[in-house]
Structure 1
Amino acid sequence: MFDRLEKIEERYEELSRLISDPEIIADNSRWQQYIKAHAELEDIVNAYREYKQVNRAVMEAKELLKDKLEDDFREMVELELEEQTEKKEGLVQKLKRLLLPKDPNDEKNVLLEVRAGTGGEEAALFAGDLFRMYTRYAEKMGWRTEIMEANYTDLGGFKEVVFLIEGKGAYSRLKFESGVHRVQRVPSTESGGRIHTSAATVAVLPEAEEVDVEINANDLRIDVFCSTGPGGQSVNTTQSAVRITHLPTGLVVSCQDEKSQHKNKEKAMRVLRARLKDIAEQEQRKEMASTRKSMVGSGDRSERIRTYNFPQNRITDHRIGLTTHRLPNVLMGELDEIIDALITTDQAERLRQAE
């Protein structure tokens, strides 16, 4: 591990020289490439340099303890050794985590799809709650959101909603949200006060760029139709809505959020690219399943991953056994406690498998 860290530090120093070279600065494309590579190595190099500094302190304290020391001074050195040794062990674990292979999609934007499951109108209302939860979280993170496709219900819920979240690290923070989300509460339409159980599914897809997925124009059937809005009322009488069918896979994507047919087609293509990329990556994950089975990273949408229990003000993430009694706060977008726990668990599992 330390040989690898030495090479990483050497590369970081080389990149530091390159980004200061006038010849490189004059070539903006190369300069941007080196700046990005330099930034990607910065965290691990800083941690490694801190480790080396702490390790020197440990060695120096051990050398001091070999000599005859006054009791007070010896006690002080022993305390320093204990503190620095603990710090060193923490840095070793941090370096191991930083050396784990990075998900190439982590820095990408996200297409997040929420669909009502079992439970009729109550499931559609819960899908709306999840949509607002994620958009509020995105707002807290300084990310931008944009609805790509939506199918509203009369009471203000969603049969389905697909929206784009644009921001640094969006996929890395949200990728463990894929799965079945279950809600237990008394619906507003329930006169007898009985608790109902409903569900909605969430799919988190990294946005695919054109270079990620090649789509043959001959494989597409594009239909246009008049847009409709919430409750089914007509939005306009022009054929601005677009439906794209990918013939080889049978995938169908429609978009009617914009008044412009061109913009709706552009949005629909972004959704289609992300879904095709997801299909390709699912196939890769199936092939790798025999060698690596991740505790929380499978993205299997058939799993019930989380329960939102309103009577008990409780949210439970079943994958990691995390329970919090802050349901209203979470629905207002305070998701960091759950997301951080999922990321930590995933890293711990990956470290265990790497040993």
Structure 2
Amino acid sequence: MDDYRKIQLLEIDKKIEETKLLLSDPQMSELAKEELTNLEIQKRDILATYENTVEAATTEDLDQRNVILEISGAAGGDEATLWGKEILRMYTRFAETKGFKVEVLDEDVIKISGNDAFEHFKYEAGVHRVQRIPATEKRGRVHTSTATVSVLPELEDIDLHINPADVSFEAFRAGGHGGQNVNKVSSAVRIVHKPSGIIVTSRTERSQLQNREIAMELLRAKLWEIEVEQRHEEIAGLKSTQVGRGSRSEKIRTYNFPQDRLTDHRINKSWSNLEKILDGDMGKMINDLRKNLDN
């Protein structure tokens, strides 16, 4: 829940407790009862608005937005890191075939902009497992590695307000992107969100202000992800375990190179020609997922 609503609810709860003390006063009891009724209605309205907002934010409301993809190697060491980069390349290639704009926000984080961008990638969140013989494997053994994908909508401050007092900013010298000039000043930005402990960085731009804006964009998206996961646990009527949105821990897909087969475990369907799919030919798979998972 965003900070503004939390403050509203805390203030209402405080007023409720104060008003209850007046119930024992014969001269104030009737007014106190009326005030308690009004306060309870206010509280219910805030909670109802919040639930409706979150539910809308997990359905069609987000489909037309731009999307942020964060890919990180999980189990498997160096091979997992390489696998994560291959998935990133697959998404980039597919986005380019759709005419979307691809921007690098940070290492292994990209933003894809275009009509219905989020809708195309919303079922990619989760754990992607690969089974193959690594190039460094001399005995021909099949190794299993995983990469984790987070799919986040691009949000504005109006969508999810962050209390400025809850974040700390740190500027540092960037490295690895933008050539030598980017290292001459402290243009990179690191943001820490104190309540959640989330840390985000941005170093791709030469301007500290631009990197700060990108980092705040990433922070809003990550806080949204946490919010939605919490609400899915709290509201039984929503899809459990984020099927369709994909929680980061959900094992959604296996890429089996020896058998040239990709299997999505949510719909129990497989596709062949892995090389072509990893080169960005994801259209058939995405359409099949949308047919089976869209409600």
- Common fold by TM > 0.5: yes
- Deviation of residue 310 (structure 1)? 1.4
1:212·1:277 contact (CA, 8 Å) conserved in 2? no
The residue type paired with residue 314 of structure 1 is R
The residue type paired with residue 109 of structure 1 is N
Secondary structure in 2 matching 1:104: helix
The residue type paired with residue 269 of structure 2 is L
Deviations 1:261-291 (A, max 9, x none): 1111111111111111222222222222356
CA distance in 1, matches of 2:238, 2:199: 33
Find 1:300's aligned residue among 241, 247, 267.
Answer: 247
Matches within 5 A, 1:160-179: 161-179=108-126
Q: Partner of 2:62 in structure 1?
A: 105
* TM-score for both structures, normalised by structure 2: 0.75
Find 1:137's aligned residue among 85, 94, 98.
Answer: 94
Q: Partner of 1:286 in structure 2?
A: 233
The residue type paired with residue 305 of structure 1 is I
CA distance in 1, matches of 2:227, 2:261: 36
Is there any run of 5+ residues in structure 2 with no aligned partner, and where?
Answer: 1-57
Counting matched residue pairs gives 236
2:70·2:151 contact (CA, 8 Å) conserved in 1? yes
The residue type paired with residue 88 of structure 2 is F
Q: Partner of 1:197 in structure 2?
A: 144
Secondary structure in 1 matching 2:61: coil
Deviations 1:152-208 (A, max 9, x none): xxxxxxxxx111010111111111100000011111221222111000000101111
1:201·1:301 contact (CA, 8 Å) conserved in 2? yes
Deviations 1:36-82 (A, max 9, x none): xxxxxxxxxxxxxxxxxxxxxxxxxxxxxxxxxxxxxxxxxxxxxxx
CA RMSD of aligned residues (A): 2.0
Q: Partner of 2:287 in structure 1?
A: 340
1:227·1:234 contact (CA, 8 Å) conserved in 2? no
Q: Partner of 1:86 in structure 2?
A: none
CA distance in 1, matches of 2:181, 2:141: 36
Q: Partner of 1:220 in structure 2?
A: 167
- Deviation of residue 301 (structure 1)? 1.9
Question: Over alpha carbons, which structure has the higher Rg?
Answer: 1
1:226·1:239 contact (CA, 8 Å) conserved in 2? yes
Q: Partner of 1:123 in structure 2?
A: 80
CA distance in 2, matches of 1:287, 1:280: 11
1:181·1:306 contact (CA, 8 Å) conserved in 2? yes
The residue type paired with residue 105 of structure 1 is L
Identity of aligned residues (%): 44
CA distance in 2, matches of 1:296, 1:336: 20
Q: Partner of 2:191 in structure 1?
A: 244
Is there any run of 5+ residues in structure 1 with no aligned partner, and where?
Answer: 1-100, 151-160, 351-355
Which has the bigger relative contact order, CA under 8 A and spacing at least 6?
A: 2
1:180 equivalent in alignment to 2:132: no
Q: Partner of 1:95 in structure 2?
A: none
- Deviation of residue 119 (structure 1)? 0.6
- Deviation of residue 298 (structure 1)? 4.9
In terms of fraction of residues, the more helix-rich structure is 1
1:322·1:338 contact (CA, 8 Å) conserved in 2? no
CA distance in 1, matches of 2:82, 2:274: 16
2:122·2:245 contact (CA, 8 Å) conserved in 1? no
Secondary structure in 2 matching 1:148: strand
CA distance in 2, matches of 1:261, 1:188: 40
Matches within 5 A, 1:344-355: 344-347=291-294, 350=295
The verdict on how the C-alpha distance between 1:244 and 1:102 changes in structure 2, with shifts beyond 3 A counting, is closer
